[in-house]
């Protein structure tokens, strides 16, 4: 049973036209994601440790889906793969933060992930651990700058100050990953945005 705060988040996400559901564990969420995807649908995937750790790409490959994920591509082909992912039938990713009032907050370096969340694929499935819940937009940005970006910068061995110190220095480096901040307040018309909120800590 979801706790009071999670129930409030779910209620507000649904009020904002997202299709939000609660899952008590990641295995249940994984089964639900696979059930949402029809045979022959192509899949785009945004950069996401949650999706990677769930190994959803492997299950989908085994089922014969065409997968477009730049994480699996040769560096010289990554931009082309990002473009194809944005044109796929279904897009899978997570969200850097979900606010209690039911919005999604994300920061991107290139923008392929955030833009595909609201324009491009008609169906988007976002899998999100409850560790991503924040009270409001300000707390969401703070979470991203103090937890998500430093962890990702370290993982990717980027030459940014946060990779070395674990803190945001609002840098001007070439490899800065905080270039685009997006708050999705309501699911746009004609777009099916599913949010599977999992009662576990997933990703960063």
- The residue ranges that bind ligand SF4 (CB under 6 A) are 145, 149, 153, 160-162, 168-171, 176-178
CB–CB of 190/197 below 8 Å? no
CB–CB of 194/18 below 8 Å? yes
Residue ranges of the alpha helices (H) in the chain? 4-15, 26-36, 49-54, 56-62, 78-85, 112-118, 137-143, 149-155, 161-165
Least separation in angstroms between residue 167's CB and ligand SF4 is 8
Residue closer to ligand SF4 by CB (options 37, 178) is 178
Residue closer to ligand SF4 by CB (options 54, 178) is 178
Residue closer to ligand SF4 by CB (options 8, 142) is 142
What is the greatest pairwise CA distance in the chain? 47
Least separation in angstroms between residue 174's CB and ligand SF4 is 10
Helix or strand or coil: residue 43?
strand
Adjacent-strand bridge partners of 131: none
Positive/negative CA dihedral, 182, 141, 170, 204: negative
Task: Tell me phi and psi for residue 187, to 5 degrees.
Answer: -65, 125
Least separation in angstroms between residue 65's CB and ligand SF4 is 33
Residue closer to ligand SF4 by CB (options 11, 167) is 167
Least separation in angstroms between residue 170's CB and ligand SF4 is 5
Least separation in angstroms between residue 162's CB and ligand SF4 is 3
Both tokens of 31, joined, read: 């089964």
Residue closer to ligand SF4 by CB (options 29, 162) is 162
């Amino acid at each position: 049973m979801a706790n009071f705060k999670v129930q409030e988040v779910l209620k507000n996400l649904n009020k904002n036209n997202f299709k939000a559901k609660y899952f008590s564990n990641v295995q249940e969420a994984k089964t639900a994601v696979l059930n949402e995807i029809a045979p022959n649908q192509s899949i785009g995937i945004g950069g996401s440790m949650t999706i990677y750790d769930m190994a959803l790409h492997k299950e989908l490959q085994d089922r014969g889906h065409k997968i477009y994920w730049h994480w699996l591509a040769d560096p010289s082909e990554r931009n082309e793969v990002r473009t194809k992912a944005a044109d796929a039938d279904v897009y899978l990713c997570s969200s850097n933060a979900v606010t209690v009032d039911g919005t999604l907050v994300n920061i991107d370096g290139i923008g392929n992930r955030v833009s595909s969340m609201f324009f491009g694929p008609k169906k988007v499935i976002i899998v999100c651990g409850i560790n991503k819940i924040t009270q409001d937009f300000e707390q969401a940005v703070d979470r991203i700058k103090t937890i998500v970006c430093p962890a990702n910068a370290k993982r990717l061995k980027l030459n940014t100050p946060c990779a070395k110190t674990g803190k945001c220095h609002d840098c001007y480096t070439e490899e800065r990953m905080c270039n685009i901040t997006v708050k999705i307040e309501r699911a746009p018309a004609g777009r099916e945005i599913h949010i599977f909120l999992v009662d576990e800590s997933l990703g960063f």
